[in-house]
């Protein structure tokens, strides 16, 4: 998808992370993003956060824990008056592949 130069001039009026529920995973042995930075960003966004011992590809070493967090976020979205971002991902995946039973993951292991 091409980038339109005018998109760099757009003024941000609000941030999704400050208005919607979000969830995050801190990978305590991450060498790509400092775990302290992950904690800071998660705290600033008031995200529901879990910490797991592992690398940047935490979803490969802890698939059950990541799936549980995704399920928790999806269930919370069912009852929230304002849907969370993960809910949008789940709906898009369902439209793309109606037979799919599992929720989509994020290549970076972060649910936000």
More confident: 78 or 54: 54
How much is the pTM? Answer: 0.57
**What per-residue confidence (pLDDT) applies to 69?**
94
Instruction: Assign 80 a pLDDT band (cuts: 50, 70, 90).
Output: low
Between 71 and 108, the more confident residue is: 71
Handedness of CA 52, 33, 23, 109 (dihedral sign): negative
- Cβ neighbour number for residue 104 with a 10 Å cutoff: 15
């Amino acid at each position: 998808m091409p980038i339109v130069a005018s998109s760099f001039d757009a003024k941000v009026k609000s941030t999704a992370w400050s208005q919607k529920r979000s969830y995050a995973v801190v990978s305590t042995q991450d060498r790509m993003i400092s775990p302290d930075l992950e904690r800071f960003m998660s705290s600033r966004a008031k995200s529901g956060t879990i910490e797991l011992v592992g690398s940047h590809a935490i979803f490969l070493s802890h698939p059950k824990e990541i799936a549980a967090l995704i399920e928790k976020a999806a269930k919370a979205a069912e009852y929230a008056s304002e849907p969370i971002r993960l809910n949008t991902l789940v709906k898009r995946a369902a439209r793309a592949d109606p037979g799919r039973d599992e929720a989509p993951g994020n290549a970076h292991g972060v649910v936000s």
